[in-house]
A and B are shown apart, each in its own frame.
Chain A
Amino acid sequence: RKEVEQDPGPFNVPEGATVAFNCTYSNSASQSFFWYRQDCRKEPKLLMSVYSSGNEDGRFTAQLNRASQYISLLIRDSKLSDSATYLCVVRFYGQNFVFGPGTRLSVLP
């Protein structure tokens, strides 16, 4: 089983839609959780950290369920510019950041 798993998609949604991505991780000792965004042929960039109580940044909401070892990202009112690959990232004890395979999102006009 891979350490971090995501549905690869693609998710094709119309502008204005709400879309949710899920991620599961295998190591219960995982300490920190993040969502990164990667545009086509570009490097990954941090979108947001994921906190135990859940957190929101504008149209983006991240949730963590430690008991189920599950992380989610919700995007409301999708924009064309949200089209990208969304990478779930887990940091284990120590400083190793493990990336999931990514979920591809296409927002259609």
Chain B
Amino acid sequence: DTGVSQDPRHKITKRGQNVTFRCDPISEHNRLYWYRQTLGQGPEFLTYFQNEAQLEKSRLLSDRFSAERPKGSFSTLEIQRTEQGDSAMYLCASSNRVGAMNTGELFFGEGSRLTVL
């Protein structure tokens, strides 16, 4: 399977614990995005990388959230001291640049569902 893969698919944790999600994008894609989605809402942008550089970070991303893409391939999203409000689906997407413009097609993984008790 050469699509975007995310791990773990489900994570249940207690409030205050740290969690880390991993995303492996489509191999030739240089852009990688993290989104968060709660029930009945559209995906909310968290952050985005071009290769290993983190180019944009949402105001939604508090100091407890950190994302890395150390070699410009896979990425990790860590949430420290989790709160119940962090419960959501965390979606990763990748895309590639075509000519001077991005085609607009984000390829999403199936997501990592976080439940904070």
Binding site for B on A (CB under 8 A): 4, 8, 32, 34, 36, 42-46, 49, 87, 89, 91, 94-102
Chain A proximity of B30: nearest CB distance (Å): 11
Q: A49-B104, A95-B31 are in contact. Are A43 and B42 (CB under 8 A)?
A: no
For the complex, what is the distance from the CA of A46 to the CA of B103, rounded to whole Å? 10
Q: How far is the CB of A94 from chain B (nearest CB, A)?
A: 6
A95 to B47, CA, bound (A): 10
Majority secondary structure of chain B interface residues (helix, strand, loop or mixed)? strand
Contact A43 to B108, CB < 8 A, known contacts A87-B42, A99-B44: yes
Give the interface segment out of B15-23, B33-41, B66-74, B75-83.
B33-41
On chain B, the number of residues with a Cβ less than 8 Å from chain A's Cβ atoms is 24
Q: Do A43 and B45 touch (CB < 8 A)?
A: no
Known interface pairs A32-B101, A34-B104, A101-B42; 14 further A-B residue pairs with C-beta atoms within 8 A, sorted by A's residue number: A8-B40, A32-B102, A32-B104, A42-B110, A43-B110, A45-B108, A46-B105, A91-B102, A95-B48, A95-B102, A96-B56, A97-B45, A97-B104, A99-B42
A94→B55 contact, CB < 8 A:
yes
Determine which residue in B42, B44, B50, B110 has the highest number of CB atoms from chain A within 10 A of its CB, and name it. B42
> A43 to B91, Cβ gap below 8 A?
yes
How many residue pairs at the A-B interface have CB separations less than 8 Å? 55
* In the complex, chain A residues whose CB is within 8 Å of the CB of B109: 43
**Nearest 5 A/B pairs, CB to CB:** A43-B108, A99-B42, A46-B105, A99-B43, A101-B42
CA of A42 to CA of B103 in the docked complex: distance in angstroms?
22
In the complex, are the beta carbons of B91 and A102 less than 8 A apart? Answer: no
Residues of A near B25 (CB, < 8 A) are: none
Name the distance in Å between B78's Cβ and chain A's nearest Cβ: 21
Looking at A44, A96, A98, the one whose CB has the most chain B CB atoms below 10 A away is: A44
- Residues of A near B40 (CB, < 8 A) are 8, 101
> Which chain A residue shows the least CB distance to B109?
A43
Q: How far is the CA of A89 from the CA of B44 in the complex (A)?
A: 11
Contact with A along B45-65 (1 / 0, CB 8 A): 100101000011000000000
